[in-house]
Amino acid sequence: MGQNFLIDKNILNKIIKTADIKSNDVILEIGPGPGMLTIELAKKAKKIVTIEKDKKMCVILQKILDVKNIKNVEIINTDILKIFNSQFSIFNKFSITNYKIVANIPYYLTSPLIRKFLETDNPPSEIILMIQKEVAERICAKPPKMSLLSVAVQFYAKPEIIALVSKNCFYPAPKIDSAIIKIIPQANTNYDKSDRKIDTEKFFRLVKTGFSAKRKMLFNNLKSEFQSSNVKSILKNIGLNPNCRAENLSIDDWIKLYTLLFYVDK
C-alpha cells in the first residue's frame, strides 16, 4: 500500500519530541503499520486513534497491542480520505475534537491529506508528519520557489522542517530521503482590506490559474480569465513586475491580488 515502515529508534524519538505530547492529548495516527510509532505515542498520550487501510495490518497491530497490554489505542480499518466524504462521522464517533496528527504517512497521501485536514472545520492543533523530503521542501518554500502546494499549506498554517531523514531509516527502504515536518494551523484571519473574509473557492481558483502553466508569466496565465489590462495594472499596483511568474508571489501578494481582482471597483 505504498508504506515504508520506520525502523530507526533515534528518528522515532525525534518525532515524539517534536510532537511534545501531553498526558491529556488525543493523537490521530494515519498508516500505523505494525505500530512502532503507535506504541511510543500510547505511552505518553491519553488516547491514540489509528486509521489503517490494510485489514491484515490492523489484525497484526491489534495482536501487538494485546501482547503489550496497551489499552488506549483504537484501530479503525478505513481509508483516511473517505472520512472526509462521510462528514467526519468517525471523528464524531470517537469524540475527536481537540487533537494532534502524528504519522509516518504513505507518500501518495501527502498533498491531499494535508489540505483536507487544514481546510476542515475541525483541524488538528498540530500536524507532525514524516514525508518525502522534496515535498517537505516544496511545502516550506518561499518566493521565488513557491508552488500551488506551498500556497495551499501556508495560507492555512505555518510549516517547518524539523529534520531530514535518510532512506536507510525505513523498511523497505524507499528510493528517496524523507523529512520530519511540523505544521501548525493558524486561525484563519485572512481578510482583504475591506474586512471581507476571503472566499477560499475564489482565492484558490485564482492561485490555480496563476500556476496553470509553469513556464508562462503570471500575466499570461491570468489574462484568459480576467481582463488583461486590469491584471497588468493590478500587478504593478501591488509592486509586482507583470513579467513575473506565480512562484515569485508570497501569500500576502496572492491575497492583495485576490482583493483587487475580485472586490475593487466591483
- Structure confidence by residue, pLDDT tens digits, 151-208: 999 999 999 999 999 999 988 888 899 999 999 998 655 544 444 578 889 999 999 9
Decide: 186 and 156 in contact? Cβ < 8 Å.
yes
Query: What local confidence, expressed as pLDDT, does residue 197 receive?
Result: 77
Q: 5-185 adopts what CATH topology?
A: Rossmann fold (3.40.50)
Could you tell me the pTM of the whole model? 0.87
Query: What local confidence, expressed as pLDDT, does residue 97 receive?
Result: 66
| Residue 68, phi-psi category: left (phi > 0), alpha (psi -120 to 50), beta (remainder) | alpha
Cα torsion 12, 17, 21, 26: sign: negative
63 vs 51: CA distance, rounded Å:
16
Same fold, 5-185 and 200-262: no
Query: What local confidence, expressed as pLDDT, does residue 89 receive?
Result: 52
Decide: 126 and 51 in contact? Cβ < 8 Å.
no
Decide: 55 and 31 in contact? Cβ < 8 Å.
no
The DSSP output letter for 201 is H
Q: 200-262 adopts what CATH topology?
A: Helicase, Ruva Protein; domain 3 (1.10.8)
26 vs 138: CA distance, rounded Å:
29
Q: Which residue has the cell 508504506?
A: 3
Domain positions in the chain = 5-185, 200-262
Angle between helices 200-210 and 148-156 (to 10 degrees): 150
Strands (DSSP E) contained in the chain are: 5-6, 26-30, 47-52, 73-77, 99-104, 126-132, 157-165, 170-171, 178-185
Query: What local confidence, expressed as pLDDT, does residue 108 receive?
Result: 77
Give every CB contact of residue 211 below 8 A, 6+ residues apart in sequence: 147, 148, 221, 246, 247
Q: How do the pLDDT tens digits run along the chain, 266 residues long?
A: 667 788 889 999 999 999 999 999 999 999 898 999 999 999 999 999 999 999 999 999 999 999 999 999 999 998 888 776 554 555 555 556 679 999 988 777 788 888 888 887 778 899 999 999 999 999 999 999 999 999 999 999 999 999 999 999 988 888 899 999 999 998 655 544 444 578 889 999 999 999 998 778 998 899 878 766 688 888 888 898 888 999 999 999 999 999 888 875 44
Query: What local confidence, expressed as pLDDT, does residue 20 receive?
Result: 93
